[in-house]
A and B are shown apart, each in its own frame.
Chain A
């Protein structure tokens, strides 16, 4: 995002040991996760000046048989990555980009645990209802809020069947420079769009100790996620609404 164009400037920024923006992450991330996580980086970083391609549809497969009850490492990783660090008196007024839900089937007592976040619908109700067009879907299927034109009406929150959107109830000061967020606007999971554009995985996927989350291009038949979806049964939450969500769950 902030990658400088000319060399002199690049040298200056690096020299000043600036940790923010692309440079810092590039320096921190090497190897560690990219080797371990199946499928490694979903793709090469997009070249500067290239728009998000409409040939790609980002999606996620969550294996609830692996997701551990009581584990919330994905939630913590999300909060760290996206600078969700404000303290709130009332948890219901705090931002919930991703939350853990525990399910119990009353018929047979089977339990599941799973992370719930923006499902990045192909036909997102939040985008339909937004009066200004702030709620939007990028060409590669990532659903975002354009905070520059969000007026904070919360109609998208009324419309989201997954309760995936949060309204920022208080002034913020400690944002991650790459993840702007602030008072009076609605926000939700971005699939860590700033990381995806650099060829990295979303923070939650990287953080999952059980490797229960898989991120990739649903449109690419050679991708790990597409292959697994072709072989294993996976469900869409609230499939009755026919929103064709980008996040699929296995085992519920």
Chain B
């Protein structure tokens, strides 16, 4: 099922590439520092993150190798501070592959984010 979906995705992606869609221009901010080789990350990052998220949230396991915040801290653009936006590490590739992400509905996409404004829910 997943393999089929992946195959379809790859087929679509290569079709898009053939059709001339511009390849994502990814800037790696800290080359060589990743938790696994690039090829493995490209292929498996979603599985790594999914398993980690369930272990961390449901079992309370902390300090895992793969972590979304870890990705963000390392991969956020030095210019924008985020993994989203144009050229953003996550968005650039996901937009190209047409895979929707809902991580960012809840997770903070900016590295080292601290809220500066007024605090508290105001009636």
Listed in ascending order, the chain A residues whose CB lies under 8 Å from chain B are 1-6, 8-9, 12-13, 16-21, 24, 46-52, 75-76, 79-80, 83-88, 91, 94-96, 136, 138-140, 142, 144, 146-148, 171-172, 174-178, 180-185, 193, 197-198
Contacts and interface: CB of A to CB of B under 8 A. Distances in A.
A140 B62 CA distance: 14
Interface of B: 30, 33, 35, 53-65, 67, 69-70, 72-74, 105-108, 110-115, 117-123
Contacts of A87: 121-122
Nearest to B53: A148
Contacts of B122: 87-88
B34 to A, nearest CB: 9
Nearest to A18: B112
A24 to B, nearest CB: 8
A183 B115 CA distance: 18
Given A148-B53, A180-B108, A79 B59 contact: no
Given A2-B67, A147-B106, A177 B72 contact: yes
B113 A177 contact: yes
Contact of B59 (A8, A138, A185): A138
Contacts of B73: 2, 13, 16, 18, 20-21
A175 B106 contact: yes
Given A76-B120, A95-B121, A177-B72, A49 B108 contact: no
Contacts of A85: 115, 117-121
Contacts of B63: 1, 3, 5, 47-49
A8 B33 contact: yes
B121 A94 contact: yes
Contacts of B65: 5
Given A51-B59, A182-B105, 19 more contacts: A2-B73, A9-B33, A12-B33, A16-B73, A18-B111, A19-B114, A46-B62, A88-B121, A95-B121, A140-B60, A172-B106, A175-B106, A176-B113, A176-B115, A177-B108, A177-B110, A180-B107, A182-B106, A182-B107
